A and B are shown apart, each in its own frame.
Chain A
Amino acid sequence: MLNKSLVSITDYSKDDYLKILQIAAEFEKNPSQKLLDGKIVATLFFEPSTRTRLSFESAVNRLGGRIIGFSDANSSSVTKGETLKDTIKMVTNYVDLIVMRHPLEGAARYASEVANVPVINAGDGANQHPTQTLLDLYSIRKTQNKLEDLNVFMIGDLKYGRTVHSLLMAMSNFNPTFFFISPDELKMPNEYKIFLDHHNIKYYEYREFMPIISEADIIYMTRVQKERFSDPIEYEKTKNAYVLSNHMLENTRSNMKILHPLPRVNEISLDVDENPKAYYFTQALNGVFVRQAIITSVLGMK
């Protein structure tokens, strides 16, 4: 994977996923390996994303690399009207790797074509966020000891949630059964259902999760955002139907784990946090190991 940018989860094959997960497991055992000694990484955040940026910067620091960059477009020359192309062309002279987040979709692909160094996409609008998907895969495998044949519940906003779309594509390599639970307005888009049909992967759609929750191996929660609803009354009616609280977990499988890309608002009650089935904070920690693995692979070190 030498000098190969990671822009979209579909840039990587199943073998690539497995290789990244294996390298990430090595970093989990031994997080401080100074492989980036003397290297400089740019973190270009054209829109703020504290969690993702800190996770990347933690990964680079643990690898002994140095970081330059900006955390929102206001502190860059974008405010002076500089094009993305010029920003990337300039930065590419200074660094060995670019990590970027941009509000426009396709920005990372374009940057990877303009840059002379590899680009890792840390989110381009509603399109892709591949490092999130890889850390989700890592978390699933770590908690279930396998990726194959799992019942994966996706709950909440399945229409606009890019994390569920990318996870769906990636998990499709491992014969899952999907359970999509969402309000009618936020159902899984048809293009993804067609994709699953093509790959002979089973999926079911529900409006409520309680009747079926005992079937879940993984519950992947997402935020139902008010601004996604055309009708505010509809939002008020549905918002509480997609909240997970501790008492709901009584009849769930012992291996079941709850994942969430974070930030959480109110879709997982605080009383769930102490339940051993809550995995979202450890999931975020796994993000550092997975990003160490991705950075060193992209640079051809692993």
Chain B
Amino acid sequence: MKDKQLIVNAIKNGTVIDHIPAKSLFKVITILGLQQINNQITFGTGLESKKLGSKAIIKIADRYFLDEEINKIALVAPQAKLNIIRDYEVIEKRVVEVPDHIQGIVKCVNPKCITNNEDIKTKFTVVTKNEVALKCHYCEKITDQDRIVII
């Protein structure tokens, strides 16, 4: 039988986000708001990875991200690596870094927090970065890595 392979083309200009844990792919898509843009986007998931077991990759044509945009994905994909592509060449590689403050994106773990009871944008201070722990600006409770829910 002849090998059939769908080849995802390299992009000419844009951003490739690699080393996303497979289970976090759709969270990354949500955080970056990729559903709302019309650029050409390809993604693959369930790909073999020595580091992550199973990883995902996203290629976004003609789109570049600011640090503060891309750092938001550090919450769900701390090992993600970005390749910035111009004219088919990788001109820059970037890693993500957990930001000091987070607005929106994450739900506060405390059901009695005001943000879970009124229409208020959540705000957190990042208290630890290796095992991410977020302190709610409003109720002051800690949301830790395992309990992070993306809004």
Contacts and interface: CB of A to CB of B under 8 A. Distances in A.
Interface of A: 8, 83-85, 102-107, 109-110, 124-128, 191
Contacts of B136: 106
B118 A83 contact: yes
A278 to B, nearest CB: 32
B151 interface: no
Contacts of B139: 104-106, 124-125, 127
Contacts of B142: 191
Contacts of A191: 142
Given A127-B139, A127-B140, A83 B119 contact: yes
A209 B138 CA distance: 35
B130 to A, nearest CB: 15
A83 B118 CA distance: 7
Given A8-B140, A127-B140, A105 B118 contact: no
A103 B120 CA distance: 17
A105 B119 contact: no
B112 A105 contact: yes
B114 A84 contact: yes
A105 to B, nearest CB: 4
Residue of A105, A125, A126, A128 with most partner-chain B CB within 10 A: A105
B114 A104 contact: yes
Contacts of A103: 112
Nearest to B137: A109
Given A104-B117, A105-B141, A127-B141, 20 more contacts: A83-B118, A84-B118, A85-B118, A102-B114, A104-B112, A105-B110, A105-B112, A105-B113, A105-B114, A105-B138, A106-B113, A106-B115, A106-B137, A106-B139, A106-B140, A109-B114, A110-B114, A125-B112, A127-B140, A128-B140
A213 B24 CA distance: 54
B89 to A, nearest CB: 47
Contacts of B118: 83-85, 110
A98 to B, nearest CB: 15
Contacts, number: 48
Interface in B81-132: 110, 112-115, 117-120
Contacts of A110: 114, 118, 120, 138
Contacts of A125: 112, 139
Interface string B28-54: 000000000000000000000000000
B110 to A, nearest CB: 6
The 8 A-B pairs at the shortest CB distance, nearest first, are namely A106-B138, A105-B139, A106-B139, A106-B114, A104-B114, A107-B114, A109-B138, A105-B112
Contact of B112 (A83, A84, A126, A128): A126
Nearest to A128: B140
A226 B142 CA distance: 26
A191 B139 CA distance: 15
Nearest to A10: B140
Nearest to B114: A106
Contacts of B114: 84, 102, 104-107, 109-110, 124
A191 B136 CA distance: 14
Residue of A85, A124, A128 with most partner-chain B CB within 10 A: A124
A288 B125 CA distance: 34
A107 B112 CA distance: 10
Contacts of B141: 105, 127
Contacts of A126: 112
A8 B118 CA distance: 20
16 contacts: A8-B140, A83-B118, A84-B114, A103-B112, A104-B112, A105-B112, A105-B138, A105-B139, A106-B113, A106-B114, A106-B115, A106-B140, A107-B138, A109-B138, A110-B138, A124-B114
